[in-house]
Amino acid sequence: MYCKNCGYKLGENAKFCRNCGARVQETEEHITTKNLKRVKATYIKDSGELKITYNEKKFDTSRIKNISIEQWAYPFLNKGIKWNGLYEELKDFTGCTEFILQFDSDEESFAIIKNALASQPVKLVGTNNTVTIVYSENPFTTRITINGKVFDTTLLQNRCIDEWIQPFQVREVHWNGIFKELEDYIGTDKYTVYFMGDQKLMSYLIDACPETVSIFYKAFNVHQKSKPLPNIGNINTEKINMDNLTDMAQKTVNSLKKKINNTAESATKTSSTETNNQELSMKWYDFLSKYGMIFYMISSCLGVVFCIIMMSMVGFGTDYLIYALCYVASAIVALKIRKRLLNFQKDTNKILTIYFSVCVAVMAIANNTTLRVARGPFIPWLLSQIVVIILIYLNYTYFKKREHLFCN
């Protein structure tokens, strides 16, 4: 197996590339699911109608006619008719123990099937799948989320949109084109794409889009101030005399009240929405996640070695042992933070800020106690600490503006 980002040969159970630091865990899952057989099912709850097809073959549903989904999702025996449960029946129908089930129905029915197949080797997918593509140029960067989960786009970085729409190959790794890759990852060819970027570039997606996929533009850059809304807050609907109105007029007034309230709420949320949709550079994130946290891990390991050397020179001391343990903890935490950064996990900014702050505090204590002789003059050291604190604040501000991206 080879890295999608740089082509470096990976170990059997590698989760990150040793050459470039790219994550490979999601890529492995992607490869193992795209070759599964697909079963399509459509269920209409009101009429109880169920249609199941596989390779243009239709599944016989006569045994579960007039039986609720809560019952046929599981095994049952009714009036001499035996039903082995949805999974077992589909396994016999397809001849496969593992497959993808595309289940098109309402949310309640989908939840029932999801619960019934929870312990089975089935990838259950619905038809209400959302893909968000954030694309920008100079430099070329592409970020994709599928149903709120981050999709691995390391192979698409530094590539323009007209390149990754079509198939291409990097050494041993083959990219099948964006629509085919999304279909293989989701497990169905029915999904909706929201494109965030230059509207002109959206035409590339539209021209290559399959019939089963929908594409919509989602506002990303806000360069103009929105026009002020009318001051609807001054409209006092309570003064309207409801007693003298007909039923139809009363309904109209109630509808007007709801529209006024909804418009006021939308106006309140406009400011925060525009801020979140501004285009943000991710260069510092890329550097910190790929190289920065590795630097902290190496520095912490060197700190452990330093403490061991000092203990061998001046004799065993409790202070050096404590600092050695702190360095070990620092290396472990740095590794976990790097993983959180790569996975865009929630609250990573807070954890990163706490980590940097604790490191500064520990070093400050060490430099004023055990390492005071090696610290040097106090004033230059104090200025350096102030600079570090300012950098921590700038780092916190940087990730705070991008907090909406860390949603996993």
pLDDT tens, position by position, 8-43 = 667 666 666 766 666 665 443 444 455 678 899 999
Mean pLDDT of 220-225: 47
**Residue 116 in domain:** yes
**pLDDT band with cut points at 50, 70 and 90 for residue 367:** low
Residues 70 and 208 in one domain: no
| Average pLDDT score, the chain | 78
Q: Which residues contact 307 (CB under 8 A, 6 or more apart)?
A: 320, 321, 323, 324, 327
Mean pLDDT comparison of 22-31, 207-216, 371-380, highest-scoring range: 207-216
Residues 138 and 87 in one domain: no
**pLDDT band with cut points at 50, 70 and 90 for residue 170:** confident
Residues 240 and 198 in one domain: no
Residues 352 and 400 in one domain: yes
Between CA 408 and CA 348 the distance in angstroms is 10
**Residue 182 in domain:** yes
**Residue 6 in domain:** no
What pLDDT is stored for residue 272 in this prediction? 46
Q: Which of 91, 110, 125 marks a domain boundary?
A: 125
Residues 368 and 236 in one domain: no
pLDDT tens digits, 270-281: 444 444 444 567
Residues 197 and 303 in one domain: no
**Residue 298 in domain:** yes
**pLDDT band with cut points at 50, 70 and 90 for residue 290:** confident
What pLDDT is stored for residue 112 in this prediction? 92
Q: Specify the number of domains making up the chain.
A: 4
Between CA 370 and CA 337 the distance in angstroms is 28
**Residue 166 in domain:** yes
Domain that holds residue 243: 232-276
The model's pTM is: 0.43
Residues 300 and 400 in one domain: yes
Residues 29 and 153 in one domain: yes
**Residue 226 in domain:** no
pLDDT tens digits, 77-131: 888 889 999 999 999 999 988 888 988 888 889 889 989 998 888 888 887 889 9
Residues 48 and 29 in one domain: no
Residues 388 and 307 in one domain: yes
Mean pLDDT of 40-66: 90
> Measuring CA to CA, which residue among 162, 157, 128 is closest to residue 143?
157
What pLDDT is stored for residue 133 in this prediction? 92
pLDDT tens digits, 314-357: 776 677 788 888 889 988 998 888 888 887 888 888 888 898 88
Q: Tokens for 206, please give them.
A: 């539209």
What pLDDT is stored for residue 263 in this prediction? 55
**Residue 14 in domain:** no
Residues 101 and 51 in one domain: yes
**Residue 53 in domain:** yes
Between CA 271 and CA 315 the distance in angstroms is 62
Q: Is the pLDDT of residue 225 over 60?
A: no
Q: How far is CA 319 from the centre of its chain?
A: 43
Q: Is the pLDDT of residue 73 over 50?
A: yes
Q: Which of 92, 125, 158 marks a domain boundary?
A: 125
C-beta of residue 86 within 8 angstroms of C-beta of residue 72? yes
Residues 314 and 365 in one domain: yes
Q: Which of 101, 125, 149 marks a domain boundary?
A: 125
What pLDDT is stored for residue 374 in this prediction? 47
